[in-house]
Amino acid sequence: MRPPVLLLVAHGSRDPRHAATVHALVRGVRSLRPGLRIETGFLDFNAPSVPRVLERLAAEAGPARGTGDGGAGRAVEVIALPLLLTRAFHAKSDIPAVLGEAAARLPRLRVHQAEVLGPSPLLLAAVERRLWAAGLRPSDRRSTGLVLASAGSTDPEAIAAIADMARELRHTGWCAVRPAFASASLPRTESVVRALRADGCARVAVAPYVIAPGRLPDRIAEGAREADVLADVLGPSPELGRLVLERYDQARVASRVPALGQVAGVPA
């Protein structure tokens, strides 16, 4: 029996760097598991959209029952994995709505929504990988204040998740680690940079806690002008690729539960 198709669901952006980074991440995941079929769909701005990808997969499955084919054709099992670091509006509302609508009209699909990527120790490792690539050394931790800068959200669960990640990083030996947000929430990156400097940190580094470039990551970079080090976005880091497959494998076990044409937790 073929393993479920992995559908990576990205937000999308008018910035071409966003899609390019997502596709680079997909190439990295394919290299880790060559036999796995991986598709990419976007919620907005970029093609293909998530509904178009699901329609194509359903078409490959053949006609649905009741169309005169005697029930020929096989259901396609799909695990839709949000390329998101926290559970906020997109993970709780947008993506379930898109998947639920597709499942209702494409009865040849069995779709299960995987968990978002965070939290995970692999994300902590990816953040530090980017900091070392930006010029810091592991021995710099104790004298460096770190700004963990995310896109921002109005969802309390997402904000709490960022704060938890900052605490986990602090336990690895940094002078101080504080969260910052590019939108929706406070404080902003530039304010935290100044606060860490005022608190006596010898240097200040900014680590964007985002997957791909775009408008909000650019805002993080602007807020990091007074910092000593600005790391790159997480992008196609090896840790992120491994985490994608970890979430896929977890969802593959859970995908035995939903019935045909049903998204987990979303009635068909």
Cis peptide leading into residue 82 (ω within 30°): no
Give 42 or 65, the one with higher predicted confidence: 42
CA distances from 146 to 18, 46, 194 (A): 25, 33, 11
pLDDT digits (tens, 9 = 90+) for 126-178: 999 999 999 999 999 999 999 999 999 999 999 999 999 999 999 999 999 99
Q: For the CA atoms of 83, 38, 126, 193, what is the dihedral angle to 10 degrees?
A: -30
Please check whether residue 18 is in contact with residue 218, taking contact to mean a CB–CB distance below 8 angstroms: no
Q: Which domains does the chain have, with CATH numbers?
A: 5-117+238-254 (3.40.50.1400), 135-230 (3.40.50.1400)
Helices (H), the chain: 16-32, 50-61, 89, 95-105, 121-133, 156-170, 189-198, 215-223, 238-254
Q: Any idea what the Cα angle at residue 112 is, between residues 26 and 90, rounded to 5°?
A: 70
Helix (H) or strand (E) holding 202: none
Q: Of how many residues is the chain composed?
A: 268
**Buried b / exposed e along 85-118 (16+ C-beta atoms within 10 A):** bbbbebbeebbbebbbebbeebbbbbbbbbbbbb
Residues 6+ apart with CB under 8 A from 198: none
Please check whether residue 211 is in contact with residue 15, taking contact to mean a CB–CB distance below 8 angstroms: no
Over 90: is that where the pLDDT of 112 sits?
A: yes
Structure tokens at 61: 């499955």
Give the 3-state secondary structure of residue 64.
coil
What is the predicted pLDDT for the residue at 137?
A: 97
pLDDT digits (tens, 9 = 90+) for 178-229: 999 999 999 999 999 999 999 999 999 999 999 999 999 999 999 999 999 9
Structure tokens at 157: 């669960």
Please check whether residue 107 is in contact with residue 113, taking contact to mean a CB–CB distance below 8 angstroms: no
Structure tokens at 17: 């760097």
For residues 81-92, give the mean pLDDT: 93
239 CB-side CA count, 13 A: 18
What is the predicted pLDDT for the residue at 256?
A: 74
Helix (H) or strand (E) holding 77: strand 76-82
Cis peptide leading into residue 51 (ω within 30°): no
pLDDT digits (tens, 9 = 90+) for 165-179: 999 999 999 999 999
Report the distance separating Cα 153 and Cα 237, nearest Å: 24
Q: Which of 247, 224, 225 is nearest to 8 (CA)?
A: 247
In this prediction the pTM is 0.91
